[in-house]
Amino acid sequence: MEEEITIRIKNLTKSFNGNKVLDGLDIDIKKGETLGILGKSGSGKSVFLKHLIGLMKPDSGQIYIGAIDIAPLAEEEISVIRRMLFGMLFQSGALLDSLTVAENVALPLREGTNLAEDKIDKKVKEKLELVGLKDIEEQMPDSLSGGMRRRVGLARALVMEPEIILYDEPTSGLDPIIANSINQMILEVKKLTGATSIVVTHDLNCINIIADRVGLLYDGKILAIDEKEKFMKSENPYVQQFIHGRIEGPIKIR
């Protein structure tokens, strides 16, 4: 039986000021898998994720979410799909500093649903507990550690119970122990929700723990995408250079 494809990207191209960041990128993401995408800083990882949720428009190409190509859709239509299907943990958490923890987590519910306040409170509490946080609803994000902020960001990403979860550098800027606790949480969320997940990062340890399949984003394309074990053993010179952090090799250092 053919595996079900949740996201299919065809020939995705995006340039900024003549600089091609995504260059005819093709990729299929299977239902329920956790796909890791490695790429050096500035390789277009965040740009790629932003296209999936329609925060950026491609110059050309298709982005199928299920059967719908979201590339040509208007913002009003895309925003509905974004809200209903996607949860995103943004790079560095992206919490609103003027809102409490509970208000941050509740934001997608307040903007996207007509849920009553008591139901919202219940869901917020439930998601905070899921990420291992208790009794911090009334705190301000400023008063939290980096790891806790990341967890609050994850609770917010989960609050609409999304089918697809996007993680942009979930472990960046965290010490190895806290980073690992976030990795374990990503595994836990996968087990609990069965969501299709994409994790973009340059953290190999993170990929080793959480990914089912891995690809390398380089020069606007996905190279050597494969099951994690096969990917790590790949003889592709770009993969070899990246995973060993070699200075010499085909990957250009800017």
Ligand X SMILES: Nc1ncnc2c1ncn2[C@@H]1O[C@H](COP(=O)(O)OP(=O)(O)OP(=O)(O)O)[C@@H](O)[C@H]1O
The residue ranges that bind Mg ion (CB under 5 A) are: 45-46
Cβ 27 vs Cβ 216: under 8 Å? no
Tokens standing for 231? 């990917």
* Number of residues this chain uses to bind ligand X (CB under 6 A): 13
User: Long-range contacts of range 56-61, CB-CB < 8 Å, 24 or more positions apart?
Assistant: 56/14, 58/12, 58/13, 58/14, 58/22, 59/13, 59/14, 59/15, 60/11, 60/12, 60/13, 61/9, 61/10, 61/11, 61/12, 61/13, 61/22, 61/24, 61/25
Tokens standing for 189? 């969320």
Query: How far is the C-alpha of 9 from the C-alpha of 232, rounded, in Å?
Result: 24
Residue from 12, 27, 34, 44 binding ligand X (CB under 6 A): 44
- Binding part of the chain for ligand X, among 3-11, 39-47, 141-149, 153-161 by CB under 6 A, reads 39-47
Cβ 152 vs Cβ 95: under 8 Å? yes
Query: How far is the C-alpha of 24 from the C-alpha of 183, rounded, in Å?
Result: 31
Contact flag: residue 45 with ligand X (CB under 6 A): yes
Residue 14 vs 45, nearer CB to Mg ion? 45
Contact flag: residue 16 with ligand X (CB under 6 A): yes
What minimum distance in Å lies between the beta carbon of 44 and ligand X? 4
Residue from 46, 104, 171, 196 binding ligand X (CB under 6 A): 46
Contact flag: residue 47 with ligand X (CB under 6 A): yes
Residue from 6, 34, 43, 197 binding ligand X (CB under 6 A): 43
Residue 41 vs 114, nearer CB to ligand X? 41
Contact flag: residue 114 with ligand X (CB under 6 A): no
What minimum distance in Å lies between the beta carbon of 245 and ligand X? 15
Residue 220 vs 234, nearer CB to Mg ion? 220
Reference 88, options 39, 156, 20, 185; nearest CA is 156
Contact flag: residue 196 with ligand X (CB under 6 A): no
Query: How far is the C-alpha of 85 from the C-alpha of 8, rounded, in Å?
Result: 15
Residue from 24, 42, 249, 250 binding ligand X (CB under 6 A): 42
Please give the residue ranges that form the binding site for ligand X (CB under 6 A). Answer: 16, 21, 39, 41-47, 91, 169, 202
